[in-house]
């Protein structure tokens, strides 16, 4: 009888361990390491594989299009099972291949991921990439995509009163090229887009200022990362307008991590101009 009890207990333990091993794992237990070029890529990866080890190559306040790899980055590149980059980072991909010739990054092409619709599109792209590389976890990844889709759509609906108030302001602004989609989504009319100071000639700058002031613009939508804010400061000095500092990457200038943190940061920044 005692021997039978021991056998039954052992069998029960075996079943428990077997079931635990069959559960969908998208985390460190599986040893998966994802290297994202930006915090936006990291947010996408973390949403779909929440337990995976996701590391970020480029700090959120650095320019993601012009970034030189450090010697310490080589170790991260060598350890990664997948690289997740943006389509505007062709130069970074080549630098990665200089460290690891077999590097085949997953490329996210969707832009304007500061708004719900586009972030969901980027999630869908990332889902295809991740499920293709980590086929064993494809069902779990798909399930996580649907959960995030519902959560972000709910967030947008809950933000409707705030969005309506911003749109009712019928604002006009000079807008960083990084925030074309965000400005349009919020109903902010652009009186001219700007980028890096080197990309705009003095004549074009003068013309933009003249045309903008004729439209009686309200503020300048700048960007927290990169060099666009240098151009915004020139516009401030010439017009006396105030800036709205919008972020295009989670974690930039104090924005929270993930889409929700970025969303709250940007809405709050624009709402400051309503006061």
pLDDT of residue 2: 40
77-109: pLDDT as tens digits: 999 999 999 999 888 888 888 898 888 899 999
What is the location of CATH 3.40.50.1980 in the chain? Answer: 33-157, 170-272
Task: Find the mean pLDDT for residues 10-18.
Answer: 35
Strand residues in the chain grouped as ranges (E): 33-36, 53-56, 82-86, 106-108, 172-176, 189-194, 219-223, 243-246
Q: Give the residue-averaged pLDDT of 34-47.
A: 96
What number does CATH give the domain 170-272? Answer: 3.40.50.1980
| Total number of residues shown for the chain | 275
Span 57-83, pLDDT tens digits: 988 888 787 777 888 888 899 999 999
Angle value at C-alpha 267, between 235 and 125, nearest 5 degrees: 100
CATH top-level class of 33-157: alpha beta
Percentage of residues in the chain with pLDDT exceeding 90?
Answer: 68
**What is the pLDDT, as a whole number, of residue 191?**
94
- At residue 24, the pLDDT reads 45
What are the pLDDT digits (tens) for 128-184? 999 999 999 999 999 999 999 999 999 999 999 999 999 999 999 999 999 999 999
């Amino acid at each position: 009888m005692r021997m039978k009890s021991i056998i039954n207990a052992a069998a029960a333990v075996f079943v428990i361990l077997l079931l635990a091993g069959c559960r969908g794992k998208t985390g460190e237990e599986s040893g998966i390491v994802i290297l994202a070029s930006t915090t936006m890529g990291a947010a996408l990866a973390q949403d779909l594989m929440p337990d995976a080890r996701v590391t970020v190559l480029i700090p959120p306040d650095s320019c993601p299009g012009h970034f030189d790899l450090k010697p310490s980055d080589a170790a991260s590149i060598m350890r990664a099972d997948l690289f997740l980059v943006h389509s505007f980072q062709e130069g970074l991909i080549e630098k990665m291949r200089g460290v690891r010739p077999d590097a085949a990054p997953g490329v996210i092409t969707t832009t304007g991921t500061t708004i719900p619709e586009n972030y969901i599109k980027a999630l869908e792209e990332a889902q295809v990439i991740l499920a293709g590389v980590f086929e064993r976890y494809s069902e779990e990844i798909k399930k996580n995509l649907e959960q995030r889709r519902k959560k972000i759509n709910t967030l947008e609906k809950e933000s409707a009163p705030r969005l309506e108030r911003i749109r009712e302001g019928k604002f006009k602004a000079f807008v960083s090229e990084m925030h074309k989609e965000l400005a349009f989504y919020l109903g902010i009319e652009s009186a001219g887009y700007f980028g890096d100071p080197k990309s705009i000639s003095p004549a074009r700058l003068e013309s933009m200022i003249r045309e903008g002031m004729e439209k009686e613009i309200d503020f300048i939508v700048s960007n927290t990362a990169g060099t666009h804010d240098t151009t915004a400061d020139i516009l401030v000095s010439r017009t006396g307008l105030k800036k709205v500092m919008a972020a295009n990457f989670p974690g930039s200038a104090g924005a929270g991590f993930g889409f929700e943190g970025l969303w709250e940061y940007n809405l709050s920044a624009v709402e400051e101009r309503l006061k």
